Structure 1
Amino acid sequence: MTARFRALMGACAVAALSSAAGAETITVATVNNGDMIRMQGLMSEFNAQHPDITVEWVTLEENVLRQKVTTDIATKGGQFDVLTIGTYEVPIWGKQGWLVSLNDLPPEYDADDILPAIRNGLTVDGELYAAPFYGESSMIMYRKDLMEKAGLTMPDAPTWDFVKEAAQKMTDKDAEVYGICLRGKAGWGENMAFLTAMANSYGARWFDENWQPQFDGEAWKATLTDYLDMMTNYGPPGASNNGFNENLALFQQGKCGMWIDATVAASFVTNPEESTVADKVGFALAPDTGKGKRANWLWAWNLAIPAGSQKVDAAKQFIAWATSKDYAELVASKEGWANVPPGTRISLYENPEYQKVPFAKMTLDSINAADPTHPAVDPVPYVGVQFVAIPEFQGIGTAVGQQFSAALAGSMSAEQALQAAQQFTTREMTRAGYIK
């Protein structure tokens, strides 16, 4: 070995050590849904572009994720560098100074391309505090073959009366086919996301203009009664344990006639590699009762950086990659346009290839139909369609969800659940100072 070669090898070793020393590891906390799992399978693409950044994933069930990231950010624990959080948390945490502004993402990121309905929910005082990985509303996914067998035709914009009739006629318990699958698992973002949106369409609301809870009103009684009737008579057994993932699995196995849930599920129920009914699925807007509001929500799963992170630059590079137009192109090239994360960018819905996806238009129409500033038929003092954008809602919503889940499990009546919800919410809102 020549002296020159030894010197060259030594220089390479020093450069390698320097590069390793400069490498940063960021920890990403995320939810265990299909789109986020898919991203983890595409990380070789990120690694090729960013060899100096290593990404470690902490993947959790939705309720557990919320609990852990809320605790971590409130206590400044510093466990995570990137958080997967929802439209509920972003404005509250941004206003409290708990998140890093993303206004300085590079020009090619094109933040102006984010759908206004989604971007507005992630912006506080002109600062973008999170980047949407995917956006969603809710809609009806249904079995076209079972609907035809029942002698019915699903309208593009159905009523709850039609849904109740269809649930009855599509149910065949001997064949383990249930007319309707709805969330029953307790949680402000699980069963209460669905039930709050449903309640909006029935003319109910969480609070009147003086922050008085409204669970003792006729509209909430009608909402919960109809929900329990449908689920008890035409829903799957053990429904009080079913959230998004459980109902997704049931639908993919051919056990649900209808499923009213997140528009993002459309790519999973129509994927022939995952769904036994992929070629039999139709879509419709979430139902209404003729009062001017549909039972569709507005949500985005977003990537944000906690103010306590020591690796902000690396975290921003990851977020810019994961929520970019290029990432959408990457997914499309690997798995087809139907599997691209939906509901975030104007350019996606202007793309002729994406317009061919059977659920693209229904998803966009559902997102645009939701109005977080006027979520209910009657005036309300809060913002949020399927949640109330106040810090206290996380605890209150989950407690109320536990009462309604218990009613679904048969351990209390609808009246008892509503009474318990009214008493608990009144007490908590009084303690928090909303009710004088």
Structure 2
Amino acid sequence: MGFFPLVSIIISLAAVSSYLNFRYVKLPTTIGVMLVSLVASLLIVLVGPYAPNFHQQAATLVSQVNFDQVVLHGMLAFLLFAGSINVQIEDLGREWLPVSLLAIVGTLISTTVVGGSAWLLLGWLGQGIPLMHALLFGALISPTDPIAVLRIMKSVRASRQLEVQVTGESLFNDGLGVVVFLLLLQLSGQDGSGQGAAPLSIDPWQVGMLLLKEVGGALVLALAAGVVAYHMLKRVDNYKIEVLLTLALAMGLYALADALHFSAPIAVVAAGLFVGNRGRAFAMTEQTREHVDTFWELIDDILNAVLFLLIGLEILVLPIEREWLVAGALVIPIVLAARWLSVAGIMGPLGWVTPQSRGAIPVLTWGGLRGGISVAMSLSLPVSDSRSLILTLTYLVVLFSILVQGLTVGWVIRKTSDLEPPGIFPD
């Protein structure tokens, strides 16, 4: 099937799923769209023995979507830029310490705890995988997705401090999670061809230089691109051109950073923060700011609907074994425990130094949803004996995260944290 027919079908399915959710299911859009597509996928699987051609055609359609390429080298540029362009530097500055510790230290703790525990568990279940592959699973499952959580937090009027912490952590741990994943992939000796290679020695100097290149190079490139975009925005007063410039910045910067082997997610987040703050304040008129915000809000909503639709449809092509379902059910509490350990280990001591919102630990733990980035990274794994098992574990964790945690996080916020008075958040 050609590119345009395939995209047309996906957009149409996302639109229909959004409509059904809005009219009948009435859940937050991303969760509702995924639930609708998941139910539809399960129905197709159930009727498969009676309509094998229909099942095969549906699976073939889904298999034509290169999920990891679509997300990691497509959607992520738009989603991260849309998320960062509306984040206030002042808010982020006030919470820089918890945000940076959660995004960096928390991601590393989660990667290590999940990877080591999953390795031990799977070995005990007789489904052992190499330790490096288990750590890869820990790295890809650690980034959090705040899309559904933030809207729920606004609806229940969670504290502004908690909202900034959730937003800031997710923006930066996406980039760091991808960097750690790629670093572990290289250290495991995987060359992406499916043939494998000799594992690289773990040289701290080599690892440090690679991290410096990925992160430092991304920040320098983002600053340069942001400054150029800022001066271009400042010299034109036409909202159509200015919206186009922000679009070019997100896409061009992501592609360039990717080509230079810098962290494209970190580059886009940094550029979005720069343009969204300095550019918004000094280079845009009120009319331009309104159109830029509307444009990126639409991009964000449309792509998230498509992303969560694809997550629900992926069950049609995932190789799932009964033993893997048992392993997945046991891995879910491991992931939650690792999340709690990383959050409590950071926010607990921080509470002795600076005031933190009541209920920060349970809200940040339960609100640490996993989403499309985790699924995309698992699908990007080279062919190996562990790949199918890791895919299944990732998918089960993501499903539980979105459907169970996503639907109950509002209750957790109301029961454990301080709420803002009415009028703080816009409707």
TM value normalised by structure 1: 0.23
**Structure with bigger RCO (C-alpha 8 Å, 6+ apart):** 2
Which entry has the higher C-alpha Rg, 1 or 2?
Answer: 1
> Which protein is richer in helix relative to its size?
2
> Which protein is richer in strand relative to its size?
1
TM value normalised by structure 2: 0.24
